[in-house]
Structure 1
């Protein structure tokens, strides 16, 4: 009799349920009343748990699996009643907690965090949809064909940047190796042989670092360009050093001019306006401007204006042992001024203007 009922039940289950199903917000099963989470009552039973037998591993690296009983915890989201004509079966749709991270036991109580690591599940679903789309497969196939045309290198995880640094250290020179040298080194084995036949063919037909059709004239132009860039860098470093030295001299000069008189004896001391040889100079008298850094070269032609320490040049007192001169012609346009300003730094900028210059570096005609 019992076997007949089981066969009859299996027959109706095989037919499938009705196309219409009933949804409930509450349901009583096994003497327990359940409510879905959306009801949000002050007293409700929307939590569910189940002990299931599953395959377990101690970690992601563990390849040996064992069967064990795992307790799963969740919250009831939806209740659907399926009608198989002779029997009705309720189905609970639940929001399950992440067991490794969202469930823990403290002081004999099981604590469940339903929000722990749940966002990752949503990301995984979108990730799977993206990676299985037709657009992604077409893009993947495109890049796969591109990778098949690439020539293998021996840099491994070192990369071209550290390979370049290694070549500089081994050569003992400060000059950086060319792109050709770096590319050639990266596509050779330790014994100096090419990685494969395709790389060997590339060495014989074209240089991959510069593209197809490279010639000796192109290489010469590139080499000359690199040498020119090195020269420009050296000149820039030299100019930086000179500017730093000039700033130090200017700061030292301004410090000496701004030092207060410390004693009455010093305050009564006579400050000469200029050397005896230039006291009797006439306004407008022609003069030669010498390089103030000590080279002795004549860098400009000008005319004498004053040697009074109280006269101002660009709103700065002239001070002792200095002369106020006008610049008529610059023989060395790039020569630095003794007292530069924000607008006038080189001798060519001072043509037609008035500047201050050390008295000992002015030669009267």
Structure 2
């Protein structure tokens, strides 16, 4: 029989290979390894029920069932060790599931639940060994999961900062519009702090381009003249003012 590999051709005797395979399977070395593997397999009581599916595909299916909502590895692990009716595969797994559920109920923060260092799985089974992570599929490492979790936390924090920025922008814009609508009748609401006000609050002012020095870029009135008033973490200082821009 001939096997074509690109431009090359490999000749081999299928019957001869089959005989060698059967001979190898009947050898004492193979039987010794087989018996050892069977003994190890017999000691495994925490067996998953995913067959060839694996955790990665199981997690994907669970996310699809929840319309895209994320699932924890504790949920994936429990599903991967349950039968078709959703019940634990055996009594030992049932005991572990009870412990995981108890840890889930005691979790007080979302960030804790997402970290593999102290989530319900790690609390029940202990710290993960290098090179694999329970409930996350083949090829996943603790280092990789830690980096992903950290990135997700940073993204979530940035989203929160973005919302605050948008709220602040909306507030400033509304204050600006109120100042425009008030015109010359705008009433300054600032109050002196620590007796440091120079009583310039409400005075009309002009904003000049600090590069050219002669070009007027806006007109308004002084809103706060207290040098100790803090803006972006620092006092505005003597001779500086917060102003309402009117035009």
Per the normalisation by structure 1, the TM-score is: 0.28
Specify the structure having the higher radius of gyration (Cα).
1
Higher strand share: 1
Higher helix share: 2
Larger RCO (CA within 8 A; separation ≥ 6): 2
Per the normalisation by structure 2, the TM-score is: 0.38
